[in-house]
Structure 1
Amino acid sequence: MGLTSVSVSVPGRAERLPAWAWLVAVVAAELLLLAGYFGVTGARPTTLRYALYPFVWMNVGVWAAIHVSAPTAVRPHRWAAAALAAAYFLALAYLSGLVGFEFTAASGHAHGHVVGFQFTPSAPGWGPRIAYAGEAFHLAFVPYRVVGYLSLSYLLYAALLDARASPLPGVLGVAACIGCAFPAVTPLLGGVVGGSAALTGTAAGYSVDLSTAAFLAGIALLYWRPGTR
């Protein structure tokens, strides 16, 4: 696994374009998209790295998923692995707020709950955000998180089917990327650390940094699975 060559069809012959050239082209397109968004809207990022983090998630996640092939297995094993990977995706989506349930609404005690679709333009990767709020649940689509979580779930699926794999790296990868949902977990820190507002505020201020670090750690552990390759 690593940077490989990709076949590209051109008139009269076949060329092999190095993977690094594809990577340069993709990054250049993303930077142009970002510059175009801020140029057209007049918005300005408060912190530049937050505008770039979504591309880190999507590029790394898609690259890892493309370079990992799920081993062949009998159908029951494939279904079991797929069910666990789907549960992992839903757990990450729930912890990060992409999926939520309104239990008070379900029991008939909703207070001013708005029902319907919502479309929110935002910086590339962060948006466009599409959300739906129902009487008892809500769904949200944030591009970089959905792509990142799907990539992780596929890597977990491949790891579960790999009979040679030690279970420890997979477990560590799953545990590491629970931190991908860090922005949703930070409100709980106050209770965990004894109500320290300063510590909670500091953690919340770096929540995107911490969740990105956790995402990269989860990708690395599920991709390389140390000791199995």
Structure 2
Amino acid sequence: MATASALPRPSRASLLRAAFAVNTTLILAFVYLLFTEASVGAPRYAVYGVAWVIVGLWVLFDTDVAPASTATKRKAAAVAVGYFALLAVAGGLVTSPVPGGASGVRVAFLPPGWGPALVYGGDLFNLVLMPARVVGYAALAFLVYDTVVKAAGAAVSGVVGLFSCVSCSWPVLASVATSVFGGGTAVAATVTTLSYDLSTLVFLVTVLLLRWRPGFGTS
């Protein structure tokens, strides 16, 4: 059956890379908690942040892109860069500056995975670079690149992943729209309680869709 090959058994090499991602992320999280003022906070939020990083690293290290022409690679790269840029804006990595907002660069010691976050406030834009979002969005963009290169029907599955992932960011956008940095920091305006749960669920589902592309005849 065509569906039987949609979720192939992972190879030993793939499992080793997954184990490497898990071990590396957990060690870094432990060192981060040990040597900074960060705390775990609500346990599930720390689990979510670590999960984003683990899955993102696994995707980046375990995805083999098929050989393709230079033109195809350029097209795929353009799509992937645009996709990452859209996620960066929709997901709150890049936001508009607010009059009177904090300026300069600082590090926010959020729970593992979400922190340490590099926060920049400027006259043209603000940045909130949480590791989970940066690594996760990079992984999704790389999967879109791989999809465009590999599959004849890549545009279809790429669109599915695009809308699935952007939909996970609507709580973030709602938070930014309602608070407009009213909490006093870029970090406070970027995340809400609901966004952690929704974005993590949709991120994992989107990785699954873009990684194996069920129903589109790819292997």
Instruction: Compute the TM-score of the two structures, normalised by the length of structure 1.
Output: 0.72
CA change 1:99–1:125 in 2 (3 A) is: same
- Give the AA of the match of 2:162: V
Deviation at 1:118, TM superposition (A): 1.4
Preserved contact between residue 170 and residue 225 of structure 1 (Cα < 8 Å): no
Q: How does 1:147-226 map to 2 (within 5 A)?
A: 147-187=135-175, 205-226=193-214
**Residues 114-143 of structure 1: per-residue CA shift (max 9 Å, x gap):** 331112222221111112222111222100
**1:19 corresponding residue in structure 2:** 15
SS in structure 2 at match of 1:57 = helix
Q: Identify which of structures 1 and 2 has the higher relative contact order when contacts are C-alpha pairs closer than 8 Å and 6+ apart.
A: 2
The question of 1:30 aligning with 2:26 is answered yes
- Give the AA of the match of 2:70: R
Instruction: Please identify which structure carries the higher strand content.
Output: 1
CA change 1:113–1:60 in 2 (3 A) is: closer
The question of 1:73 aligning with 2:68 is answered yes
**2:181 corresponding residue in structure 1:** none
Q: Distance in 2 between matches of 1:183 and 1:2?
A: 35
**2:11 corresponding residue in structure 1:** 4
Q: Distance in 2 between matches of 1:92 and 1:32?
A: 25
**Residues 188-225 of structure 1: per-residue CA shift (max 9 Å, x gap):** 899xxxxxxxxxxxxx5422111111101110111001
CA change 1:74–1:219 in 2 (3 A) is: same
Deviation at 1:163, TM superposition (A): 3.9
- Between 180-189 and 159-168, report the one with greater CA deviation: 180-189
**Residues 47-104 of structure 1: per-residue CA shift (max 9 Å, x gap):** 21111111111112222333322222222221121111111101111112111233xx
Structure 2 unaligned segments of length 5 or more: list them. 1-7, 179-191
RMSD: 3.1
Q: Distance in 2 between matches of 1:175 and 1:23?
A: 30
Preserved contact between residue 147 and residue 157 of structure 2 (Cα < 8 Å): no
SS in structure 1 at match of 2:169 = helix
CA change 1:51–1:212 in 2 (3 A) is: same
- Give the AA of the match of 2:52: W
SS in structure 2 at match of 1:139 = strand
SS in structure 2 at match of 1:206 = helix
Percent of aligned positions that are identical: 32
Q: Distance in 1 between matches of 2:106 and 2:200?
A: 26
Q: Distance in 2 between matches of 1:220 and 1:121?
A: 30
SS in structure 2 at match of 1:140 = strand
Structure 1 unaligned segments of length 5 or more: list them. 7-17, 103-109, 191-203
**1:122 corresponding residue in structure 2:** 110
Q: Distance in 1 between matches of 2:92 and 2:172?
A: 7
Q: Distance in 1 between matches of 2:24 and 2:75?
A: 40
**2:125 corresponding residue in structure 1:** 137
Q: Distance in 2 between matches of 1:34 and 1:172?
A: 36
- Give the AA of the match of 2:161: G
Larger C-alpha radius of gyration, 1 or 2? 1
CA change 1:36–1:81 in 2 (3 A) is: closer
Residue correspondences, number: 197
Q: Distance in 2 between matches of 1:42 and 1:121?
A: 5
CA change 1:81–1:22 in 2 (3 A) is: closer
- Between 167-176 and 23-32, report the one with greater CA deviation: 23-32
- Give the AA of the match of 2:194: Y
